[in-house]
Amino acid sequence: MKAEVRTIRRFMGRVPQGQDLLAYLNRVCQEEKIEAGQVSAIGAVSRARIGFYDQDRREYGFIDLAEPLEIVALQGNVSLKEGRPFVHAHVVLGDHAGHLRGGHLAEGAPVFACEYVITQFASETAFSRGPDQGTGLPLWQGLP
């Protein structure tokens, strides 16, 4: 299943220090009415909360990382969930010793410094999330 998209706008910016990373990215997408897109970022957070999906239990578990961390990589997408723009992002974080942790970015990551790029796509297909029977996850629905 796939859909052709084209880039229509690109935003670059900084997340203000102290703001929650995921909440801020969601707010930008909602304010700019981005219904389909791609997100990337680099920088640092004061602490973080990352999740992983337990495929057997079909639920997320979360890990709280209570230390300053570098955002080695953040990749995500934007689609609609419950009719609103929604950022789904995964992140790789590095600590002071160079050890990496990664997973699903959850709220609870106040920014120390962060630069982001959000690319907005246009598509004839709506990228809207809904329940997927096979996985239990809210995945894109209605793709050709």
Environment class of residue 107 by beta-carbon count within 10 Å: exposed (0-12), middle (13-18) or buried (19+)?
A: exposed
Q: What is the pTM of this model?
A: 0.95
Structure tokens at 68: 């300053």
Backbone angles phi, psi at 68, to 5 degrees: -65, 140
Weakest mean pLDDT among 94-98, 99-103, 122-126: 122-126
Question: pLDDT (tens digit, 9 = 90+) per residue, 5-35?
Answer: 999 999 999 999 999 999 999 999 999 999 9
Question: pLDDT (tens digit, 9 = 90+) per residue, 57-70?
Answer: 999 999 999 999 99
- Please say whether the beta carbons of 134 and 141 come within 8 A: no
State the sign of the Cα–Cα–Cα–Cα dihedral 4, 55, 90, 31.
positive
Task: Kindly list the structural domains of the chain, giving each domain's residue range(s) and its CATH number in brackets, ordered by start.
Answer: 20-122 (3.30.1330.80)
Q: 111 forms bridges with which residues in the sheet?
A: 45
User: Please, where are the H alpha helices in 1-144?
Assistant: 21-31
HSE value, Cβ hemisphere, 13 Å, CA-based, for 103: 17
